[in-house]
Copies of this chain bind each other. A is one copy, B any other.
C-alpha cells in the first residue's frame, strides 16, 4: 500500500482523492488544508487536517501530492515540503520550471526525498509526447494544440472585469491549423492561427455589455492576440451548459526519414537511393474532467516517486526521469506479457 496525503483541497485535490480511490495499491492518509478543517467535507470521507499539522504525519505518508496553484503556492510549498516528504506537484509556469527545479532539488537532496515537479498532462503527458516525437524524428517539427477546453486562467481574467458576475472561457484549436500540422507543413503558427477563444459571460444587471466585450477582446496576452468571441448568457445557462471542466489537446510531430544520401558521401547516382518519407506521431487527449484526469496522472506519478524513493533515487525529478514501468502497479513479468 502506498500511503498518500493531499496538500490543498480544491478541484485538483479532489481529483487526486478520487483517483487514489480507483487504485487499489493506494491508501489516503488525509487531506491537509489552509481552511478550517471542520468546514471541509471530503468526497470519500477521508480525514481533514490543518495544513500546519502535516509534518506530524511524516512517518505515515509515503508521498504527499501538493495541489496548490503555480503562481504563488507551489514555489513556496514544494521546496518546503520536499525536505520532509516525497512529493508530487503540478507546477505549470513553463518559464519558471528551471528555477523551481533547482530549488526543489536542493530541498529534496537535503532531506533524502524524491520530488517530482510539473506532473499532469501539460506539462506532463504532453511533454513526454514532445520528447518521444523529437527523439524519434529529429528532422521534423512539433506542434501542440489545446482544447476544446475550459481555461481557468482565462475564465478568471474575465471575472475580474467590473460588471461580470461569472464567466467561462473555452480555448478552441483552429481546425485548419491542426490539419496543416498533421500534413507536416513546416511553419511557425501565430497564436491567432492556432487557437480561438470563446467566452460565455454572465453580466450584472444593467452592465455595459459593449464595454465588457471591448475589455475582454483588448486584454493583452489573454485575448488580444486571438480571435475572440463573447456571448452573454444568464447564470442559469452558465450552470446548465458550462459547469464542467472539459479539456484536451493534441501533440503532433511530423518528420522525414530516409533520403539525404547526397549529404552522406555523394552517392546520388545509386539506383537504390531511398526517397524521403514522411512520418507522423500524434498524441491526443479528450477529457470530460480536466482536474480528475490531472489527478489521475499525479497518482500514477506518486507511484513512481514511491518506487524511486525506495531505490534511493532522491532529488528533483520530472516526467522525463520516470521509467514508464514505475508508473504501473504491475510487475515486470505482467508488463512483458500484457502490455509489451
Query: Which A positions have Cβ atoms within 8 angstroms of B?
Result: 14-15, 18-19, 21-23, 41, 43-45, 94, 97-98, 101, 118, 123, 125, 127-132, 134-139, 244, 248, 257-261, 263-265, 267, 270, 272-274, 277-289, 292-293, 295-297, 300, 303, 318-325, 327-329, 332-333, 335-337, 339-340
Please name all residues of chain B whose beta carbon is closer than 8 Å to the beta carbon of A328 when the two chains form the complex: 131, 134-135, 320
In contact, B318 and A274 (Cβ under 8 angstroms): no
Contact B286 A324 (CB under 8 A): no
The contact of A274 among B14, B45, B281, B287, by CB within 8 Å, is B14
Query: Which one of B43, B125, B319 lies within 8 Å of A267 (CB-CB)?
Result: B43
Can you list 19 pairs linking A and B with CB atoms under 8 Å apart? A15-B257, A15-B258, A18-B274, A19-B257, A43-B261, A43-B273, A97-B340, A134-B328, A135-B303, A135-B327, A244-B277, A278-B288, A279-B287, A279-B289, A279-B293, A280-B286, A281-B285, A320-B325, A321-B325
A270 to B15, CA, bound (A): 17
**A277–B292 CB distance below 8 A:** yes
Tell me the smallest distance from the CB of A227 to a CB of chain B, in Å: 27
* CB-CB under 8 A for A257 and B18, given A118-B340, A283-B283: yes
Cβ contact within 8 Å between B339 and A130: yes
Q: Given contacts A18-B260, A41-B270, could you give 14 more A-B pairs where the C-beta distance is less than 8 Å?
A: A21-B264, A22-B139, A123-B340, A128-B324, A129-B283, A130-B339, A132-B327, A257-B288, A274-B292, A277-B287, A282-B283, A282-B284, A319-B324, A320-B332
A272 and B43 contacting across the interface, CB-CB below 8 Å: yes
Say whether B339 contacts A131, CB under 8 Å. Answer: yes
Q: Specify which of B23, B98, B136 is in contact with A337 (CB 8 Å cutoff).
A: B98
Closest residue on chain B to residue A289 by CB atoms: B277
Q: Which of A44, A139, A285, A289 has the most CB of B within 10 A?
A: A289
- Docked Cα-Cα span, A289 to B139, in Å, equals 15
Copies of this subunit:
2
With A and B bound together, what is the CA distance between A216 and B280 in angstroms? 32
State A131–B127 Cα separation when bound (angstroms). 16
A44, A127, A132, A273, most chain B CB atoms within 10 A = A132
> In whole angstroms, how far apart are the Cα atoms of A281 and B273 in the complex?
38
- Give Cα A117–Cα B294 distance, bound, in whole angstroms: 32
A98 touching B292 by the CB < 8 A rule? no
Given A283-B283, A295-B257, A300-B136: A323 in contact with B325 (beta carbons within 8 A): no
Residues of B within 8 A of A279 (CB): 285-289, 292-293, 296
Partner of A340, one of B18, B22, B320: B320
Q: How far is the CB of A247 from chain B (nearest CB, A)?
A: 10
Q: What residues of chain B lie closer than 8 Å to A265, measured between beta carbons?
A: 44-45
Q: How far is the CA of A98 from the CA of B125 in the complex (A)?
A: 28
Q: How far, in whole Å, are A127 and B335 apart by their CA atoms in the complex?
A: 9
Tell whether A45 pairs with B118 under 8 Å between CB atoms, given A22-B257, A328-B131. no
Chain B residues with CB below 8 A from A123, complex form? 340
CA–CA, A139 and B293, complex, Å: 12
Who on chain B is nearest to A95 by CB? B337
Instruction: Check B336 against A267 for contact (C-beta < 8 Å).
Output: no
Q: Which residues of B contact A14 (CB under 8 A)?
A: 274
